[in-house]
């Protein structure tokens, strides 16, 4: 019997596998794809704080980012720049593979091309039903981790509920000579959200957007727009899609089981980024599993410590960010233009960039401070009913 069965070999799943294997536990990771990190719909932008806190996968860094250009619906732009590097653009395949490789070096086992089909909590163990090359198999473990990304039904099957809100993302690798990150706003581009053009390697970039509906059509229009501007070589490219949770699960643990990462909804609602928050929660999850395994206590009470600690760390951020996300979704293009004008005329972007609260990963204080700069009279002018 395994000490831990982990469904999903993304950053969170592999990080937990690595920690547990280092402590001498017997770990098995299931990954439905044939290669770790394959076909991930993610821009791969991680903050400097993330790589400082979790210093692995630095070989995956494609380039540094210290500036970004934001475009209003009219095409008017606003440039943000810091003197120091704020984030890194990483190759997700290399990044995810590096974490998985470290876990394997510590002794964790991986089963690739293995599709987990069901999970059952028994009195003395957890059973995971897996399909491998069209053949079924059952594996038993003292504990289990659901790290299978957004859309997983496992948490619902064991009574932990489902994500209350989500958005769809679409992204493609394009031929481009982009010099810095570009972010586009406007309901004709990505209603309620935003689109991006992110430089990666020489002559390559990632173009994508978030939308609640018609995601494919909006991305195609965005790619045509970039092509007509001469920013990309062609709009005819292969597109990857993926769901992104905007709210966490109602509950992320019970006896013997923990849910982590996108599967748990531990994602920034403002940007849809989840790598750093997933790793922070994976650290807490690994410590909770270690406590349970070393004490042979797999009760819901022990596993609830994971729930308590990750919410203490993140829940305020997630709530404020989600509130800001829903507020932004109410803006018309005209109101977004007004917001751009207010920010520029009052030099709010410079004030926020120079603020001690400025952070690539922690947005709640910046959001509240930015609203304070705008003033209470400005907010009603920008909001329309949903």
Task: Tell me: pLDDT of 380 over 60.
Answer: no
Cβ atoms of 31 and 75 closer than 8 Å: no
Cβ atoms of 77 and 71 closer than 8 Å: yes
What digits encode the pLDDT tens for the residues 269-322? Answer: 999 999 999 999 999 999 999 999 999 999 999 999 999 999 999 999 999 999
Question: In terms of DSSP bridges, do strands 126-132 and 114-121 run parallel, antiparallel, or are they unpaired?
Answer: antiparallel
> C-alpha distances in angstroms, 384 versus 90, 334, 336?
38, 11, 11
In 10 A of CB 188, how many CB atoms? 11
pLDDT grade for 94, boundaries at 50, 70 and 90: very high
> C-alpha distances in angstroms, 375 versus 80, 230, 323, 368, 379?
21, 39, 17, 11, 7
What digits encode the pLDDT tens for the residues 71-92? Answer: 999 999 999 998 899 999 999 9
Cβ atoms of 115 and 135 closer than 8 Å: no
Task: Tell me: pLDDT of 383 over 70.
Answer: no
| Calculated CA dihedral for residues 37, 201, 43, 33, nearest 10 degrees | -20
DSSP 317: H
| Calculated CA dihedral for residues 61, 63, 66, 71, nearest 10 degrees | -110
Cβ atoms of 11 and 95 closer than 8 Å: yes
Task: Tell me: pLDDT of 385 over 70.
Answer: no
CA diameter of the chain: 64
Q: Which residue matches tokens 């002794």?
A: 107
* Cα–Cα nearest to 35, from 94, 108, 118: 94
* Cα–Cα nearest to 266, from 185, 195, 361, 346: 361
DSSP string, 186-244: -TTTSTTS-EEEEE-STTEEEEEEEESS-HHHHHHHHHHHHHHTTSBS-S---EEEEEE
Domains and CATH numbers, the chain: 2-44+91-164+246-315 (3.50.50.60), 58-88+166-244 (3.30.9.10), 330-382 (no CATH)
In 10 A of CB 121, how many CB atoms? 16
Report the pLDDT value the prediction gives residue 376, as an integer from 0 to 100.
60
Two tokens at 198? Answer: 């992110």
Report the pLDDT value the prediction gives residue 152, as an integer from 0 to 100.
82
Q: Which residue matches tokens 């009760």?
A: 299
What digits encode the pLDDT tens for the residues 232-266? Answer: 999 999 999 999 999 999 999 999 999 999 999 99
Task: Tell me: pLDDT of 4 over 70.
Answer: yes
In 10 A of CB 345, how many CB atoms? 8
Report the pLDDT value the prediction gives residue 269, as an integer from 0 to 100.
95
pLDDT grade for 58, boundaries at 50, 70 and 90: confident
């Amino acid at each position: 019997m395994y000490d831990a069965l982990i469904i999903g070999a993304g950053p969170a799943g592999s990080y937990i596998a690595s920690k547990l294997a280092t402590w001498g536990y017997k770990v098995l990771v299931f990954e439905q794809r044939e290669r770790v990190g394959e076909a991930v719909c993610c821009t791969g932008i991680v903050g400097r704080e993330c790589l400082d806190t979790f210093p692995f996968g630095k070989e995956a860094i494609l380039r540094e980012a210290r500036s970004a250009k934001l475009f209003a619906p009219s095409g008017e732009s606003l440039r943000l720049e810091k003197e120091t590097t704020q984030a890194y653009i990483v190759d997700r395949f290399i990044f995810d593979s590096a974490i998985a490789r470290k876990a394997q070096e510590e002794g964790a086992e991986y089963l690739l091309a293995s599709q987990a089909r069901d999970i059952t909590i028994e009195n003395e163990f957890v059973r995971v039903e897996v399909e491998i090359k069209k053949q079924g198999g059952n594996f038993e473990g003292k504990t289990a981790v659901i790290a299978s990304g957004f859309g997983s039904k496992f948490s619902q099957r064991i009574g932990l509920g489902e994500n209350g809100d989500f958005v769809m993302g679409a992204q493609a690798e394009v031929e481009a000579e982009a010099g810095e990150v570009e972010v586009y706003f406007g309901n004709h581009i990505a209603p309620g959200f935003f689109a991006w053009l992110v430089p990666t390697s020489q002559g390559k970039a990632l173009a994508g957007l978030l939308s609640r509906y018609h995601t494919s059509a909006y991305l195609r229009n965005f790619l045509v727009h970039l092509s007509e501007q001469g920013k990309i070589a062609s709009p005819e490219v292969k597109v990857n899609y993926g769901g992104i949770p905007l709210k966490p699960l109602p509950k992320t643990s019970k006896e013997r089981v923990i849910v982590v990462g996108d599967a748990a909804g531990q994602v920034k609602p403002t940007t849809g980024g989840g790598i750093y928050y997933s790793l922070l929660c994976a650290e807490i999850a690994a410590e909770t599993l270690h406590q349970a395994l070393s004490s042979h206590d797999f009760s819901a009470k022990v596993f609830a410590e994971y729930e308590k600690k990750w919410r203490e760390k993140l829940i305020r951020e997630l709530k404020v960010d989600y509130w800001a996300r829903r507020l932004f979704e109410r803006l018309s293009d005209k109101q977004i233009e007004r917001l751009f004008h207010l920010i520029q005329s009052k030099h709010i972007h410079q004030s926020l960039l120079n603020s001690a609260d400025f952070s690539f990963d922690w947005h709640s204080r910046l959001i509240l401070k930015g609203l304070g700069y705008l003033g209470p009279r400005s907010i009603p002018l920008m909001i329309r009913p949903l």
